[in-house]
Amino acid sequence: MLPADLLDIASENNLRGVKIHVLDGERFSLGNMDDKELSAFGDKARRLNLDIHIETSASDKASIDEAVAIALKTGASSVRFYPRYEGNLRDVLSIIANDIAYVRETYQDCGLTFTIEQHEDLKSYELVSLVKESEMESLSLLFDFANMINANEHPIDALKTMAPHITQVHIKDALIVKEQGGLGHKACISGQGDMPFKALLTHLICLGDDEPQVTAYGLEEEVDYYAPAFRFEDEDDNPWIPYRQMSET
């Protein structure tokens, strides 16, 4: 599927926009387009009255710079990222905090909003602390229905912790897989897994006072993607966080 095809699918299904990764489409991806092609992609989205959210699977300077450049050239409104670092937890959190500081110092006033996604290794309260300590008004959390499982958390508990900072969501289903001292998840067809869809959506839709707090719900249908446990019941206060490859779904 090519990036432009995703725009057609979104329009045909009366969606409000697309969430697209910089590598979606492989050699035809946004990351491989020149400025003219990126502009054409943005023009098509505007003709179809679709918003664009750019996604990247890292938080380092080069990855952020690439995603922001693509976002600005396509007229996107948002950039999502998540960290993938190996090391003891406190060291990893320090690196991520420095990454976020770079985003704040470089792109705070660029007109984009940014979301950091819980992606299997960090716990909800750790992500909340990163967002709060950043003091970056345009940074919030993206809540994924299943990614907290691998951090040895459950969906409702994670949602309650992150709720004040959630502005975007990835909706998907998954089976919870018990591992030794931890939890993995296997993505599946929606309705066939363990995710409490009704409770999660009800809570998310009700966030916000005068207007909805959550502004974008990404529809994912991942099947057979498996992610192992990364956090464990018996871990100490500075556990080892293993490196992991970018998820391909």
The predicted pLDDT at position 222 comes to 86
Please choose, from the candidates 42, 105, 48, 104, the residue with its C-alpha nearest in 3D space to the C-alpha of residue 77: 42
- Our measurement of the distance from residue 104's CA atom to the centroid of its chain's CA atoms, rounded to an integer in Å, reads 18
Percentage with pLDDT > 70 across the chain: 99
The predicted pLDDT at position 41 comes to 99
Residues 188 and 158: their CA atoms lie apart, in Å, by 20
DSSP H or E segment with residue 227: strand 226-227
Q: Which residues pair with 28 in a beta bridge?
A: none
Residues 198 and 203: their CA atoms lie apart, in Å, by 9
Residues 69 and 77: their CA atoms lie apart, in Å, by 12
Q: pLDDT-based confidence at 200, cuts 50/70/90? A: very high
Percentage with pLDDT > 90 across the chain: 95
Mean pLDDT, range 189-216, rounded to an integer: 97
pLDDT in tens, 156-169: 999 999 999 999 99
pLDDT in tens, 130-147: 999 999 999 999 999 999
- CATH number of the structural domain 3-233: 3.20.20.150
Mean pLDDT, range 222-244, rounded to an integer: 94
From the number of C-beta atoms within 10 Å of its C-beta (0-12, 13-18, 19+), residue 141 rates as: buried
Mean pLDDT, range 174-199, rounded to an integer: 97
The predicted pLDDT at position 246 comes to 75
Model pTM score? 0.95
Q: Which residues pair with 54 in a beta bridge?
A: 20, 79
How do the domains of the chain map onto residue ranges? 3-233
